[in-house]
Structure 1
Amino acid sequence: MVLRLIARQRSAVVWAHLRSRHWWDTIVPDFRRSLVMSRTPPIVSVLPTRGLVDEKFKVLVENLPPGRPVTVRSLHRSEDDHYWEAFGFYTSDHRGTVNVSKDQSVGGTYTGKEPMGLLWSMCPVPGSRKGFRLRKSDVCSPMLVNISVHSGHEGFRDQAPLASVLIERWYMAPGVKRIDVRERGLKGTLFLPPGPGPFPGILDLWGGGGGLVEYRSALLASHGFATMSLDYLSCGQPVFTYAETAFNFIKDHPQVVADRVGIVALCIGSLPALYLATDSTVVKPCCTVCISCFAIYPSDRVVAGSFEELTSISGNVPVDENNHEMWKYVGLEIMSGSPKKANTGKLTTPLLLVTGCDDQNAPSVEMAEDITQTMRAAGNDHLLSRLDYPDTGHLIEPPFSPHFRSTKFVTADKRKVMILWGGQTKPHSDAQEDSWKKILSFLQQHLCSSLNAKL
């Protein structure tokens, strides 16, 4: 009994000593926390799980052991059954969490603090065929992306995820209406914002790839603009007249404010866009946005509206070390031949030029400078706004779209080639996010400010 009493007293002294050194207050809670974490599986949450493609999200991983290396991955199956992924390497903090919006990725398809890197750095999974481009065809359905967390930084594709969540990225906001347009000989799609209107209008013109491209129009409608995408390369009639017909269709729509219609154009879509803004005697846009502008007419056939020449370039097209065609230099050769140009000196409404300084598909930098000099000489350069982005390529898309330095392309004369678009992934992606905000601001200023005053 005496020995037991002495042992108990010594034990009490030891415990009192340890508690006086705060051992109990520091180690035990961490032990309890680790014990709880070992019993609670990791979870990954994304807010919002459903949103527009230009809306940021937050990714949070919880219930990890402290200091654990993990990989956060996004995976998307495209409409043509190809898989695209992005991933970042992280280490959980002392609470066992990874916050993608605040924490640094130390490797993967992106590095640093990049809240949206899981989208803009997407690339084909290993083993995929090269040269494909990720674009949404069916804008009435969402882009589905699986966000998952995996243990470690190596071999994560071969293991089951610790946790995952499926998110939806939409081009069409709830309530946006999609309407096929087959009137007046037109082939287009009109997107109307929610509500009765009337709305400001936009004619959306894409580039030399042709076809009916809808996703930018759907997104613009989600921001309050009645927008029509137009297939103008296969119209079978003079393009400028066809564009005038499309512009008048939007202007005459009962849910559109007739004197509040603008144009957004990419690449050779700038040709009909600037024609409507300068030389047309039928229509007059309130403002014009030209992305990666190409506004030169290499022949009378193009002036008359036959655009096949611009998309069937053959002959001595320079190529890079990977045999990717650089059409920019063909455009520069055309420019050096004193071609007919869009007469921007006649502009009477605002123009915004968005230019990638590493555009390898069109001489958009030189074109923007030429337009600037022309407008300055004419005394209307106060109408011009320019956004020039270093290390940015030709395909300046809505925010968080993956960057494509080169992709496959089929020309109008059926040649299958690899086109060099240019740009570096990180600066190109930053340019897409910044330019989209400023494009929307430009359109709001010139299509909505006076409209709001009227209302």
Structure 2
Amino acid sequence: MVASSGAILRASGLGRRGLLPGSPKLWHGGRVSGALARKTLTWSLEPAGRCGWDEPVRIAVRGLAPRQPVTLRASLRDEKGALFRAHARYEADAGGLLDLERAPALGGSFVGLEPMGLLWALEPEKPLVRLVKRDVQAPFAVELEVLDGHEPDAGRVLGRTVHERDFLRPGVRREPVRAGRVRATLFLPPEPGPFPGIVDIYGVGSGLLEHRASLLAGKGFAVMALAYYNYEDLPKGLEILHLEYFEEAVNYLLDHPQVKGPGVGLLGSSKGGDLCLSMASFLKGITATVLVNGSVANVGGALHYKDEILPPLGLDPNRVRLTKDGLADIVDVLNSPLEGADQKSFIPVERAESAFLFLVGQDDHNWKSEFYANEASKRLQAHGKKKPEIICYPETGHYIEPPYFPLCRASLHILVGGPVIWGGESRAHATAQVDAWKQLQTFFHKHLVGKS
């Protein structure tokens, strides 16, 4: 089915999460030093303490003056020291309470009722930096501050607190995998197994990213984050990839005593998407495949499997356009996989026995993800296969991550050798990520567990 997205985006709204107003649990927060109108300022975070990165948190401040104008600021540093910031202007209610579930932002990094805006609106202090979690065993620490008045004329800091957001839920097991040629990390839920298994593959330049796999393991899946180049003793480049490597990873997962068969799922983003599509098309044991802004053609380098070779899709660098900021827009660079010799790069999806879900950002500027999803659907149906699910999100860019990761507007593209734009508008992209996270879990439950 093809779902459109205006309804999905409205239905998935970020502002509907959290406890009902007035819940007694809301006010389990820490006191912060600072006084105003002889009241003690108190931060209230629900859930209190650490929570998962993909979980909403209810943020409130009490002890303000009635109708007091304040500015809230959020900041975090990644493992490399890059600083990300967001801020918004608010007004306390008549009782001196500021509850982000109820109070709209009056300006700043975002406007309107956006309870999680201080996270999804984070922007890097230095341009062209993408927020990436490299060590899932340590949380991200988000510093929250409340200032008197409205920026840019805000006064003193009235109070601050630190909110920790975790990637490894209590009890989730992290197991490095060095089996044969396979270089990966396996995450297992805390409950007794076996569990439905998923292979998780990211795009170029990733090395081994574990954050999505670790979060999914907290939802009841055994998830293997798989590296495929530029990591430890794996090949340094993408010029030639062998599908036998990925077959070895699938077989490792299928043979694992904590993994429930008879098949496994695949989750791939960007270049990882077309790799997952090739795996589903050539390999056995693939039951469900989710592609997040993936290609229907093999991209980047030749893909070998036994006596077959899929050549990389051709490209024309002359089709690169420059934005007014001097960044590259590469959305039109790749050739069409429907024409001439480039048809040989089209992945033979008709061979697949897997169910498919395509999650598409309609403002993806890396390549034409919506076109690729539709062409895959046409090819599957032309060969008597079931029509795949396609969910399209307007104003959504290339990097569709788990909820509350901020939009990456532009960063270095390792294959281009320079900075490119990725597309997307912050609020729409954030809303899409919340819905996509739900959709892929529902899809895997349906096809790997047998229930939605």
TM-score range, shorter chain: 0.7 to 0.9
- Is 1:442 matched up with 2:439? no
Amino acid in structure 2 at the alignment position of 1:437: K
Amino acid in structure 2 at the alignment position of 1:138: D
Partner of 2:132: 135
Residue 99 (structure 1) shift: 0.7
- Is 1:224 matched up with 2:220? yes
Identity %: 33
Give yes or no for contact 1:43–1:164 (8 Å, CA) kept in 2: no
Amino acid in structure 2 at the alignment position of 1:277: A
| Equivalences for residues 38-49 of structure 1 within 5 A | 38-48=37-47, 49=49
1:295-352 Cα shifts (integer Å, max 9, x gaps): 2136983356999968999665333332322332122445544423122223322100
Partner of 2:303: 302
Q: 1:264 to 1:311 in 2, by over 3 A?
A: farther
Q: 1:334 to 1:347 in 2, by over 3 A?
A: closer
Partner of 2:24: none
1:300 and 1:221 mapped to 2: Cα distance? Answer: 31
Amino acid in structure 1 at the alignment position of 2:255: D
Residue 195 (structure 1) shift: 2.8
Residue 142 (structure 1) shift: 0.3
1:333 and 1:443 mapped to 2: Cα distance? Answer: 31
| Aligned match for 1:342, one of 327, 343, 347 | 347
Partner of 1:255: 258
Partner of 2:375: 370
- Is 1:243 matched up with 2:246? yes
Partner of 2:407: 403
Q: Which moved more, 1:69-78 or 1:322-331?
A: 322-331
Residue 123 (structure 1) shift: 0.7
Partner of 1:50: 50
2:42 and 2:335 mapped to 1: Cα distance? Answer: 54
1:266-323 Cα shifts (integer Å, max 9, x gaps): 112122212221222xx22110000001121369833569999689996653333323
Partner of 2:25: none
| Aligned match for 2:323, one of 310, 313, 320 | 320
Partner of 2:365: 360
1:293 and 1:409 mapped to 2: Cα distance? Answer: 16
Gaps of 5+ in 2: 1-34
Amino acid in structure 2 at the alignment position of 1:387: I
| Equivalences for residues 13-92 of structure 1 within 5 A | 38-48=37-47, 49-92=49-92
- Is 1:144 matched up with 2:141? yes
Partner of 1:329: 332
Give yes or no for contact 1:205–1:265 (8 Å, CA) kept in 2: yes
Partner of 1:114: 114
Give yes or no for contact 1:208–1:311 (8 Å, CA) kept in 2: no
Amino acid in structure 1 at the alignment position of 2:169: A
Amino acid in structure 1 at the alignment position of 2:92: S
Task: Find the structure with the greater CA-based Rg.
Answer: 1
2:143 and 2:153 mapped to 1: Cα distance? Answer: 15
Give yes or no for contact 1:353–1:368 (8 Å, CA) kept in 2: yes
Q: What TM-score, normalized to structure 2?
A: 0.84
Give the total of aligned pairs.
406
1:430 and 1:351 mapped to 2: Cα distance? Answer: 22
1:350-376 Cα shifts (integer Å, max 9, x gaps): 100000011110111110110121122
Q: 1:150 to 1:306 in 2, by over 3 A?
A: farther
| Aligned match for 2:389, one of 378, 382, 385 | 385
Partner of 2:98: 98
Residue 160 (structure 1) shift: 4.4
SS at match of 1:423: coil
1:300 and 1:153 mapped to 2: Cα distance? Answer: 52
2:127 and 2:271 mapped to 1: Cα distance? Answer: 26
| Aligned match for 2:398, one of 381, 394, 398 | 394
Give yes or no for contact 1:188–1:231 (8 Å, CA) kept in 2: yes
- Is 1:209 matched up with 2:213? no
Partner of 2:31: none
1:22-50 Cα shifts (integer Å, max 9, x gaps): xxxxxxxxxxxxxx962122222111231
Amino acid in structure 2 at the alignment position of 1:273: C
1:398 and 1:260 mapped to 2: Cα distance? Answer: 24
2:176 and 2:100 mapped to 1: Cα distance? Answer: 40
Give yes or no for contact 1:210–1:232 (8 Å, CA) kept in 2: no
Residue 224 (structure 1) shift: 1.0
Residue 233 (structure 1) shift: 2.8
1:387 and 1:182 mapped to 2: Cα distance? Answer: 36
1:130-164 Cα shifts (integer Å, max 9, x gaps): 1111111000000101122111112478x542122
1:185-218 Cα shifts (integer Å, max 9, x gaps): 1111111111331111100011122311111111
Which structure has the highest strand share of the two?
2
Amino acid in structure 1 at the alignment position of 2:69: P
Which structure has the highest helix share of the two?
1
Gaps of 5+ in 1: 1-35
1:203 and 1:311 mapped to 2: Cα distance? Answer: 28
Partner of 1:191: 187
Q: Which moved more, 1:370-379 or 1:134-143?
A: 370-379
